Structure 1
Amino acid sequence: MKILVNGYTVTEHIELRINKESMKDIYKIDNVIGNIKKNKKLYTRVVFYTAIVLFQMDIISYANGFESSIDEIGNKILSMLNLFARWGCLSMGLKEMITTLLNGGNMKQASVSGIQYWLGYIFIKIYPTLFEMMSDIKF
């Protein structure tokens, strides 16, 4: 058997009462904020005091979440790949030069065959620096 109060069960009646009281508080707060917005002097004071309080508080945020660990791992993997690509370009350029010289080519032919890998090394070395320089530019 359910006990009814004004057509609601006791728990429903308590929930409605709590919701009505909280809505009254929300309406009061909304009216106060509306009055502050209309009064420009009071609004500037509230903003100024809020800025002072936030400036004096030491808010420290540590990014120890799942996303930051993925970011760290991703950066480590990219740096390892970058290092591997650099050494790969240098060694492949040297290998091509030696292969050309051993096959009977002269130094000019050897440097032409190896220079493409060395240009790749220079590109890999300079490209991240260019992005960092471009990110510093303010538009």
Structure 2
Amino acid sequence: MNSNDEIESYFPGLRGKNWQLTSHRNTQYNCIAWAACDSTQWWWPGDPADGYHWPAGIDRIETLEAFIAAYTLLGYETCADLAPEVGFEKVAIFVDADGKPTHAARQLNGGRWTSKLGNLEDIEHDLQDVCGDLYGTVARIMKRALPQPGPVAQ
């Protein structure tokens, strides 16, 4: 089975849709880290002895509130709109039917989204196309201002 077929078997909402691979497989980081622009660590509120990174001062519990707090620490705030906004980047936090966080995706400049799919690749996709049995639904959208470019040195 090739990567595209494997991914579509886990995420049937991607079948026949406009999505693309944007990386090679990598087990060094996960979707929570990728949404936070970190491709060096596996973010999860698990035991650090098991290799999990989690922001200091945030409860190591698998709740939507803990994930919101983690992204808030990075400068994100809750927002209601999925539409891209000039000067901001957005993340979407997904939860399962029990309200437990499962996934996070980051919005790209053009309004599409990027996700790291567990131990698989990163993909570019439409947000709703990864909703389903595995990741559940989007529970929260958050945004933060992008850094402003500094003055050009003369």
Higher radius of gyration, 1 or 2: 1
Q: Which has the higher helix share?
A: 1
More relative contact order, 1 or 2 (CA 8 Å, 6+ apart):
2
* TM-score normalised over the length of structure 1: 0.16
